[in-house]
Amino acid sequence: MKLLCISNGHGEDGIAVRILKQLRQLPGAPTLAALPIVGEGRAYEKAGIAIQGPTQAMPSGGFIYMDRSQLWRDLQGGLVGLTLAQLKTARQWAKSGGKILAVGDIVPLAIAWQSGAEYFFIGTAKSEYYLRNETERLPGRPPLEGWSGSVYVPWERWLMARPRCQGAFVRDQLTADLLQKLGVPAHYPGNPMMDDLDTSADKLARLTATFIPAPAVLTLALLPGSRAPEAFDNWQRMVKAIASVMQTFGDRQIRLLAALAPALNLAAFKDVLLDAGWQPAVGEYLTFQRGNGMVVLTTNAFAECLHLADAAIATAGTATEQAVGLGKPVVTFPGPGPQFTYAFAESQSRLLGPSIILLSQPREAGAALKTCLADGPRLQRIAENGRRRMGSPGAAGAIAKALHQHYAEPPYSDATSWAA
């Protein structure tokens, strides 16, 4: 059997790779290939998964839905031709007898459906938490939002309920429960974003050894995002937030762990710190010091930075969700985008609830963190909220097992039995 994974974004590619890695470890695993419809699929290439069909990085970076002006730039960049070629690739895959795993939103889901193949769907983009919590609809939401009874509109639910859709996995239990009431056989196995966050004892020791032991240390993870040049613009605002934190917590040592994407240019982050008066310090990692603060820049210790942190300052998508899932309070503030705009940040704060502290300006970070970290019951609620909304590790393996049982082993007569 052959399985083609269609995904539409950097974060979606990462989720897909986690699942496919688990799948190919199982006996009789299918032949795997990927069709990334946004970007060039570097995550797949790094994992040794073959790319099918054409790929191309578009000017918008895939964020057309947040800034409609980006659509014209993508059209000029060849979006129509690229999409037609990708649709053809999916149809050819289906004609050869292959199956499809669609990861993301309605775009890969619709491509999977039009291909004519059997398909599974992993919905990463939508959650009922955007509209409601466990007890009530969120106040102040537009009356027509969720007009059909769910954050998933009727045509999305129709695509998930087709006989050729062999299973739909959603990102939280609240969403699964509501979709099931509406006749969609949706399942919640956990969130694959929480997989692969295991720490290395060696990296933890090396990171902590960078800092001089002090009786009162506040450790913050800094998550500026993964895309250039936006991540550099976010970093400039983040350095202003750091200054606010250092002033507010003047009686404590501030340990700042910047978890940067490997593809980003460290020199640009270093220059911003130097311009702000930070001085290079001795350490195994790229380290800077100023007053009561010390910053470490790292590209290979993301999980360690999150686990060590008391809280995070973030202008990111997936990384913010992972920090929340580990029970951390996260301070965010919007920028010009194209990803981390006010609309994105506000939407993210609804998705992740009380774990997010959404500010209008970076200079508010110090006071907001001081209020939050001094409130024990609030921190407990944040930890519980993170576990509830993001789940525990193991989802990638659970989804891989479901795919394996359905395709590599004789299929069950009851389509829900493998997901029970």
Say whether 132 sits in a helix, a strand or coil.
Answer: strand
- The owner of tokens 């774990």 is 355
pTM: 0.89
Tokens of 235: 């970093």
CA distance 248 to 242: 10
pLDDT of residue 413: 38
Most distant CA atoms of the chain, gap in Å: 67
DSSP three-state, residue 215: coil
For 214-240, b where at least 16 C-beta lie within 10 A, e where not — what string? eeebbbbbbbbbbbeebbbbbbbbbbe
DSSP 137: B
**Whole-Å CA distances, 278 to 12, 152, 184, 239, 288:** 36, 47, 54, 10, 6
Give the model's pLDDT for residue 338.
Answer: 84
Full pLDDT tens readout for the chain, 420 residues: 899 999 988 889 999 999 999 999 999 889 999 999 887 888 999 999 999 976 766 555 555 555 556 655 565 555 677 788 889 999 999 999 999 999 999 999 999 999 999 999 999 999 999 999 999 999 999 999 999 999 999 999 999 999 999 999 999 999 999 999 999 999 999 999 999 899 999 999 888 888 877 778 999 999 999 888 999 999 999 999 999 999 999 999 999 999 999 889 999 999 999 999 999 998 788 999 999 999 999 999 999 999 999 999 999 999 999 999 999 999 999 999 888 999 999 999 999 999 999 999 999 999 999 999 999 999 999 999 999 999 999 999 999 999 998 876 554 434 444 443
In the chain, the amino acid numbered 353 is G
The HSE-up count of residue 398 (CA atoms within 13 Å, CB side) is 19
- pLDDT reported for residue 417: 42
pLDDT value, residue 419: 43
Report pLDDT for 411: 47
Q: Are 341 and 334 in contact (CB under 8 A)?
A: yes
